Amino acid sequence: MRLRILHVLDCPNVGILTERLGHLLAGRQDVEILSEVVASEAAAAAAGMTGSVTLLVDGADPFAAREPVASLSCRLHRDEDGRLDRAPSLAQLHRAFEAPRPSGWC
């Protein structure tokens, strides 16, 4: 599995996401994690970033809105209880990693 963390420079949400990923992925050898700073709207559009922080799992954003819009703005996620959070919850990340991949996924 390949994870890409897309974010703006000095985004505080990166640390939260990285910590949660560390808890879930500790000891796994089949995961590659890349962290990329995105500096322009054009680069955000090209990379698939819809706010900082965006996590791509094997090239797709499992938390994307129905009609995602490229953005450098701060991205918030709703947890299982509908509360806003700065990164997907542990449970949401776990489901995203365990979900079957649709055909055609990278």
List pLDDT tens digits, range 66-76: 888 999 999 99
Q: For residue 56, what is the DSSP state? A: E
Q: In this structure, is residue 104 part of a structural domain?
A: no
Given a cut of 50, the residues of the chain with pLDDT beneath it are 103-106
Q: In this structure, is residue 68 part of a structural domain?
A: yes
Q: In this structure, is residue 103 part of a structural domain?
A: no
Residue 60 is part of a domain; what is its CATH number?
3.40.30
Query: What is the count of structural domains for the chain?
Result: 1
Q: In this structure, is residue 105 part of a structural domain?
A: no
CB 106 within 8 A of CB 58: yes
List phi, psi (to 5°) of 72.
Answer: -100, 0
For position 98, what pLDDT does the model report? 86
Q: In this structure, is residue 57 part of a structural domain?
A: yes
Domain holding 54, by residue range, is: 2-98
d(CA 47, CA 27): 28
For position 101, what pLDDT does the model report? 55
For position 65, what pLDDT does the model report? 85
Q: In this structure, is residue 78 part of a structural domain?
A: yes
d(CA 96, CA 61): 9
Burial bucket for residue 89 (CB in 10 Å: 0-12, 13-18, 19+): middle
